Amino acid sequence: MTSRRNMKLSEKFAELRRNGEGALVAYITMGDPSPVESLAIAQSLIDSGAVDVLELGVPFSDPIADGPVIQNAVDRALRAGMNTDLAFEISAQLDKKVPIVYLTYYNIVLQYGVKRFFESCQKSGISGVIIADLPYEEGAEVRQACADNGVDYIHIVTPNTSAERMQMILAESSGFAYLVSTRGVTGKRASLSAGIKEVLDRAKAAAGNTPVAVGFGISGPDHVTEIISMGADGAIVGSAIVDLIAKGATTEELQAYVRSLKQATRTVRAVVE
């Protein structure tokens, strides 16, 4: 039996903070390698007990923020017939033991209808939404639709975001703030970007009480440990998981991988109440 209550991101991050853990945010592309298989993969990640937040990519034909691994996953998903209606159908079937967030592009939301999209998020148990290509200045309608439906609007900031602009953007972010660790697109990297600690410190100062999770280029337990040790509230891992799916990893292999990532979030930190 599925649970459709939107588990609040604020509840999950508060629980993790009390336990002295960072969050593992795991990303997959919906519909890859097929809609039915992606439903099973998503549920297996939830059932692993290792994923704190599940991030589901709603495929868009021109994913400009994504590197080759996720672009190829999007292509496979679209060829398999994935669409926005199916995304909501799949989401509604998932057990909401952890918060589930969408990552998508504004054209998907606009074509579906902003009001209808966020009403459907609420009905299918989506806790938050990230829109990769929507500038802050153009997001008023989305922010209102999120507020009307109890859905967190997770804003993105990058190393290029000025301190003043970061303050403005993150004042509006709820659930968590998404800090891009590096310039460029998503993808696995051998090491974290130089200077990420300084950018993270700026983001955390701007975000106030809103947790900050770091993504792009985080592809193994060592990276997770490093970013959590720097003070990040969460680590977002996408391309590494999507790559395993593309290579035909079994459910057991995927679960073992995310468990290794989760173990790396258990860095001892002072609990700040």
Q: Which residues are catalytic?
A: 55, 66
β-partners of residue 156 are 178
β-partners of residue 214 are 179, 235
Determine if residue 158 is left, alpha or beta; phi over 0 gives left, psi from -120 to 50 gives alpha, anything else beta. Answer: beta
- Give the count of beta carbons closer than 10 Å to the beta carbon of residue 133: 15
Separation between Cα atoms, residue 74 and residue 30, nearest integer Å = 8
β-partners of residue 174 are none
Q: How far is CA 21 from CA 76, 226, 229, 233, 268, in A?
A: 35, 13, 10, 8, 7
Separation between Cα atoms, residue 189 and residue 217, nearest integer Å = 5
- Where would I find the H helices in 48-113? 68-79, 84-93, 106-112
Q: Which residues contact 190 (CB under 8 A, 6 or more apart)?
A: none
* Token pair of 102 as six digits: 């969408």
